[in-house]
Amino acid sequence: MFEKTNLLIHCDICDTRKIKEEDYSHYNEITINTDTVIVSEKSKSIFNRLPITANYDNEITLSDDADTPVLKTVNGPYKITGQVVLTDTSENTILTVNGPLTIEPGTEAVLKKYFRIIVNGPVKYPQSMESCLDRMTINGPVSTYPDGFVILGDNFIIDKYFLLRARENGRYYVDNTVIIPDTSVDTAALADKIRFAAKKAVFPEEAVRDASKIFDESTSFVTIPEGMKLICGDSVLNQRLITVNGGNLFIYGDLEVDKDADMEALLPQIQKLIVKGTVSLRADQEESFYRLNAEFDNLEIIKDCRRFNNALRVYLDKTIFDNSPNGIEVCNAADVVIAEDVTPEMILDKLSVSNCAKVKCSSEQESSVAAVAVNVANIGSLSDNNGGVLGALKDLTHTKVINADSYIM
């Protein structure tokens, strides 16, 4: 007697409308991994009678005689612009964007040419085009920008040459922050020529009268006190920072105090320090830092622990724990494995895990891992491997595997 085989299908689009029960009833298990599955009322009932497990992001119901859609996939940022040739798309095309999508003005006709647009990421579109999104499935945040504005990105620094490049009566949109770094920028001339739409604006305090005319009332202002040097982005407080930029520092970002910094030597060199972000330092630096009378949003004490950041795989055993007296921090790892010689008490005492896809541990360790984990998708037992590599190889000998861009059942 022959064993029943399994069927494993990997594809971008799976059309099930022509499925016949007798063609698939001899399979023991049928697994479909696809981005988009197309069904009809008839195929849905057949699905329920067959041993099918379908993993998909989107389901589309079509009549039996409709053409199978063509799938166009973009991995990364994508723009729908007025330059797109309409013959490049059709009412039979499904556009999938795995990343940010920006829709430019005047693209109503292009949007209507797509059968469906699926976005796994943020979408940005003109305020007047909201009615054009009825064919879109969006798995991410949605934002609008004013019509008639040129998009310049998330953040934009206006240098002294921007005035020469900007168009007369230009309208510009920035998602987050517009920065005028110093008084070398002629804000009076800018106010006569352009307008900006943005959430925040950072500019010198002495330019507030002219700079405020560049933005509307929805923009919040952050002013740089006179005589202070603006530093954009995250920075490290050490001798080099002061030597290069002076002792009046306005940090628009986070600031970490260098672990080797001589705070007693730095104190007399810093006249004023403002941090629009979080200050990070070690516990033995805290008292000296407070003597600066600095202004900051938040303060964070750094533990000198062992760190594993942005790793594909992290393996933690008792030796690692024994040689990490200040603890272990794991962030943004795909796969974390904790050896069985690590006790639950060691995990609770020394380990922190955040933003990781999976933590593999013994059943005795699971509750402790759950207590120290933040934003971890899966915490599973080391024994839950379904037979490991040998089991996987055995399954493959009884499995028919199909890899295709598009598959019709």
Per-residue pLDDT tens over the stretch 169-223: 999 999 899 999 999 999 999 999 999 999 999 999 999 999 999 998 899 999 9
> Residue 318: helix, strand or coil by DSSP?
helix
| 193 within 8 A of 217, measured Cβ to Cβ | no
Same domain, 219 and 154: yes
Residue 1 domain flag: no
> What pLDDT sits at residue 387?
44
pLDDT digits (tens, 9 = 90+) for 79-90: 988 765 544 455
Residue 321 lies in a domain: yes
Q: Final residue of a domain: which of 224, 253, 270?
A: 224
Most confident of 8-17, 111-120, 341-350: 341-350
Tell the residue number behind the tokens 């020394």, with chain if given.
350
3 state DSSP class of 138 = strand
Q: How confident is the model at residue 12 (pLDDT cuts 50, 70, 90)?
A: confident
Q: Are residues 234 and 210 in the same domain?
A: no
Tell me the percentage of the chain whose pLDDT exceeds 70.
Answer: 93
| Residue where a domain stops, chosen among 68, 90, 117 | 68
Domain assignment of residue 262, given as a range = 229-302
Tokens representing 317?
Answer: 């055993």
One domain, residues 215 and 244: no
| pLDDT score recorded for residue 335 | 86
pLDDT at 232 over 70: yes
Please check whether residues 280 and 269 belong to one and the same domain. Answer: yes
Interatomic CA distance for residues 61 and 19, integer angstroms: 14
Domain assignment present for residue 107? The answer is: yes
Q: Are residues 34 and 97 in the same domain?
A: no
Q: What is the pLDDT of residue 397?
A: 61
pLDDT digits (tens, 9 = 90+) for 116-154: 888 988 999 998 888 778 878 888 899 888 888 988 988
> Is residue 80 located within the same domain as residue 141?
yes
Is 402 among the domain residues? no
Distance between CA atoms of residues 98 and 121, nearest Å: 6
Q: How does residue 25 score in pLDDT terms, banded at 50, 70 and 90?
A: confident
What number is the average pLDDT over the span 87-105? 78
Total of domains in the chain: 5
Q: Two tokens at 137? A: 């499935």
Of the residues 224, 246, 263, the one at which a domain ends: 224
208 with 159, same domain: the answer is yes
Q: What does the block give as tokens for 389? A: 């590599």
362 and 312 within one domain: yes
Are residues 220 and 171 part of one domain? Answer: yes
Within a domain: 238:
yes
127 lies in a domain?
Answer: yes
Buried b vs exposed e over 103-116: b needs ≥16 C-beta within 10 Å? bbbebeebbebbbb
The answer to the question of residue 273 being in a domain is yes
Reported as half-sphere exposure (CB side, CA atoms, 13 A), residue 161 has a value of: 0
Q: What is the pLDDT of residue 90?
A: 56
Question: Are 281 and 317 within one domain?
Answer: no
Asked whether residue 394 is assigned to any structural domain, the reply reads: no
Q: Are 82 and 98 in the same domain?
A: yes
* Among the listed residues 306, 304, 302, 305, the one whose alpha carbon sits nearest the alpha carbon of residue 289: 302
How many CB atoms are closer than 10 A to CB 14? 24
| Of 67 and 200, more confident | 200
> Cβ-count burial of 374 within 10 angstroms (0-12 exposed, 13-18 middle, 19+ buried)?
exposed
In a shared domain, residues 318 and 375: yes
pLDDT for position 3: 61
What is the per-residue pLDDT across 373-405, written as a single tens digit (0 to 9) for each? 998 888 887 654 444 444 444 455 678 888 888
CB atoms within 10 A of CB 256: 18
pLDDT, one tens digit per residue, over 256-299 is 999 889 999 999 999 999 999 999 998 889 999 999 989 999 99
